[in-house]
Structures are given as structure tokens and as C-alpha cells.
Structure 1
Amino acid sequence: MPNYTLYYFNGRGRAEICRMLMSAASVPYTDKRFEFNEWDKYRNEMPSFCVPVLDIDGQNKMPETMAIARYLAREHGFYGKNNMDMFRIDYICDCFYEIMHDYMRYFHAKNGRFWGNDSDMKSSDLNPYMQTRYMETCRRILPFMERSLEMRNSGSQFFMGDQMTLCDMMCYCCLENPMMENQSMFNSYPKLMALWKRVAAHPKITGYLKKRCSTNW
């Protein structure tokens, strides 16, 4: 088993899907978190100067959220069994990542800070264009995700059937903060909301959610 170290800011954000996968697979790893004011100390050590980054055995630092997530899913049995299954999992994950990306950009401010994470920031600091873009992305993608879920077992289990995979965990991670802020915007997607609760109730995920670090985002 490789020795993993995951580098990211002290928040859930783009790294949470990677943490959740490793917890679901019972894979030990070092969760290396740092504050925004420490970023300059780590920046030059990271490929393409971004995080999350997964360090494998202290020899390979691998960047990009979904590349890391797909590697972990393949290694630990949370990916598809054939090319068409993997294709379906990929498009579902990428759709949710679009929402996550726009959400993170919406709440992102200068110097790596996020609205709601710093007392000196005001709602006027938010980018109105990114707010509109985030909401439009949700309106475009969520109905499609609801229909995609219904394609297997009428949406009563998971995206790929009776087993939880990468895309189900991606659904949870993507929608967690938006759900806490405005749950009513998801009332039109009852199957997705039921899936969100189903993932949280999975024995491996429940244990992770209880012990993880508590952060605002």
C-alpha cells in the first residue's frame, strides 16, 4: 500500500472527494492542511502551483482534483467495471464538478480567502457574475443529474445501481455546502436529495463524517 499525503487548505472544498474516497476504502493517509496565510510556503512545491495534490510515497506529487479522485476510485473499487460504466461515472462526476467549480469561484476572493471565512469580508465582495453563473450551472445540470439517477433502479439506490461509486460521493461533496445554505433550491430534485442522504448513511461515510475536521467550507 502506498503512503499517501493529501495537501490542501484547511477546508473541504475540492479535496473532500479525495478524503472521502480514501475513508470509504479504509486507506490510511496524511491529511496535510494549511491556512491561506501559509500558502506562499507551499505554493512552489506544488505541481502547477495549485492544490489539492496527492503525494505518493514521497516521490510523486500528483495534482488535479478529478485526476486524483479517479486514480483512487480505480485503485480501490469505486469505479466502473467496463468502459461504458466508466464513461457514465465520468460524465456524472464532471457535471457535479462544474457546479463545484462555479460555487468555489463564486465564494472565492483575493488572496485565497473565501466569503464567510473572514470577518472583514462583506457580501458586496462577492462577484455578481459568478453568482449568476453558479445559479445557471445548477439550473442546467441538476435536472440532468436527476434524470441520470432515475435511469438505474428508478433512482432508488445509486447512480450505477446498488453499489456506491465515485460519482455518488461526488454528488455528496458537491452539494454539501449549497444544501446547508439554501436547501429549498433542491426541492425539485427529490431523487438527488435522497441519494445525498443515502451516501451520508453509508457505514464508511458515516464514520468519516463524524470524525472529520469541522470547517465552514
Structure 2
Amino acid sequence: MPSYKLSYFDAKGRAEAIRLALHCGGIPFTDERLSREQFAEKKESFPFGQVPNLTVDEKTMIPQEVAILQYVGRLSGLYPSDPEEARQVDVMLNVANAMAAFFMPDNPGKEQLKTMAVESQFPKLFGYLERYLAKNETTFSAGNKLTIADFRLYSIISNLKAGMLDGCPTDLADKYPHVVKLYQAIDGHEKVASWNKTQAK
């Protein structure tokens, strides 16, 4: 079996969805958590000078969160091979992309972005997500099976609940019943719960 090493900081951030996918997909991996100093030393060894980065068999490097998620999803069955099912996952991944953009700490004008996120963009995005979930009436975001899209949305909502976006109410997502139901379904999944238990400090 190939070896896998996921490199990121000692934080959830943009790597937690990937960690969940690897764990829930039954793929053993090395969870490399870099200090800022270690990252500075290794930065130029990564394809785009960024993390997360997945190294396969100590040679092939896969950068970018969504690309890694899709790769892991294909390996584990958490990203469907059926085009219609994959379309639903891709829609949810793109919704998550729109949300994740506001967590980027080094964006020019980041304070303006935060204000925009809190006052208009997150309520709008969660409103659309609520309507989408209510219409589809599925257990998870892209059907009745857990997929990589669920891990990404779960990670973003968890970050909001943890106060990772300054000025954003930690209970923002709680105003949307179907979003809450989705979060609880993912959080209560046996494999997700087992991962969270290993990470509890």
C-alpha cells in the first residue's frame, strides 16, 4: 500500500477536512504538523510553497486542499464515480470554497472581507445552503452517503463555532435548521466521532 503524509500546521484550518477524509476512508497516513519555523524551512519544497500538501510514497506531492480531497475521495469511495452524484458533490465543494475564502488571513483588505462576510456573505450563503438542503431532503450535503463535501462544510462550520473568524457570531450557522441537521449528522457519524475523540485535548 502506498504511504501518505499530510503536511500542515498544528491546527485544523484547511487540513482538517483532508484528515477526516483519510481517517474515514480507512487510509493510514502520517499527520505531519509543522511549526512556523519548520514550514519556513520546507516551504520551497512544496509545489506552490503552501500547505496543506499530500506526499505519496515520499515522492509525488499533491498541493491544494480541494485537489487533495478529490484525490483521497477517489481512493476511498468518498468521491462518487457516477457523474450525477459527483456533480452534487462538486456543487457543495464550490459552496464551501466561497465560504472558505473569508478565512484567508493574508488577503489584501482582509478586514473589509471579514466585515463583508459577517454582515452579508455568510448569511446569504447559509441561506442558500439552507434552501438547497431543505429541497433535497438528504442526510448529507450531496446525498445520503458521507462524501468529501461534508468534511469541507463540517470543517468550515466548526471553525465558525470555534470563533476562528473575528467578529463573526459563533452561533451563526445555528439559525438554519437544515444546516444544523447536516452538521449534527456529520458530527455524529461513527468515524467522524472516532477521529474527533483522538484529537480531543
> What TM-score comes out, normalization by structure 2 length?
0.88
Q: Which residue of 2 aligns with 1:40?
A: 40
What is the deviation of 1:70?
0.6
Residue 59 and residue 146 in structure 1: after superposition, are their counterparts in 2 closer, same or farther (change >3 A)?
same
Instruction: Pick one of 135, 141, 145 that aligns with 1:163.
Output: 145
Q: Which residue of 2 aligns with 1:139?
A: 123
Q: Which residue of 2 aligns with 1:192?
A: 179
Letter aligned with residue 71 of structure 1: Y
What is the deviation of 1:7?
0.6
- Kept in 1, the 8 Å contact 2:18–2:68? The answer is yes
Task: State the number of aligned residues.
Answer: 194
What is the deviation of 1:137?
2.7
Q: Equivalences for 1:21-60 in 2 at 5 Å?
A: 21-60=21-60
Instruction: Output one character per residue of 1:123-167: Cα deviation in whole Å (capped at 9) or x when no partner.
Output: xxx942121232233123111211222233x25x11233211111
Q: Equivalences for 1:51-200 in 2 at 5 Å?
A: 51-103=51-103, 105=104, 108=105, 127-135=110-118, 136-152=120-136, 154-155=137-138, 157-181=139-163, 182-200=169-187
Gaps of 5+ in 2: 164-168
Query: Relative to structure 2, which stretch is displaced further, 75-84 or 39-48?
Result: 75-84
- Kept in 1, the 8 Å contact 2:55–2:61? The answer is yes
- Kept in 1, the 8 Å contact 2:4–2:57? The answer is yes
Identity of aligned residues (%): 23
RMSD of the alignment, in Å? 1.9
Letter aligned with residue 132 of structure 2: S
Letter aligned with residue 204 of structure 1: K
Letter aligned with residue 20 of structure 1: L
Gaps of 5+ in 1: 111-125
SS in 2 for 1:187: helix
> What TM-score comes out, normalization by structure 1 length?
0.82
Letter aligned with residue 162 of structure 1: N
- Kept in 1, the 8 Å contact 2:26–2:76? The answer is no
Instruction: Output one character per residue of 1:73-92: Cα deviation in whole Å (capped at 9) or x when no partner.
Output: 11111122421221121121
- Kept in 1, the 8 Å contact 2:92–2:142? The answer is no
- Kept in 2, the 8 Å contact 1:7–1:33? The answer is yes
